[in-house]
Amino acid sequence: MIVQEKELNKIIRKNFYLKDICLEIDGILYGKIYFKKAVCKYRYKIGILIIFDIVNILKVDLSSEYEIIFNKKEKSLIIKLDNGQDIKILEFKSKQ
């Protein structure tokens, strides 16, 4: 499902707030960052996605996004940026 920028904060809070998530970065930079009980927010007025937990903090400027796709089955959010960088956020089940 293609998501409008105005709906993004609602989707992030409903599906990723205070959950264990994996953030995959693909493009010029490649990596995976794991967050335990992450606090996820999207500030629509300034276009910044903020994800943090006890150890990590990440702020991503989404002003250059051209496509946002949310997959309900996989509970994943894919954000495609103009600079060729793709960001994928998904919930993962940690073994405790």
pLDDT in tens, 17-35: 999 999 999 999 999 999 9
Q: Are 48 and 60 in contact (CB under 8 A)?
A: yes
Percentage above 70 pLDDT, the chain: 97
pLDDT at residue 41 is higher than 70: yes
Q: Which fold has domain 5-91?
A: PH-domain like (2.30.29)
Q: Report the DSSP pairing between strands 76-81 and 57-61.
A: unpaired
Model confidence at 65, pLDDT cuts 50, 70, 90, reads confident
HEC-encoded secondary structure of 4-53: CHHHHHHHHHHHHCCEEEEEEEECCCCEEEEEEEEEEEEECCCCEEEEEC
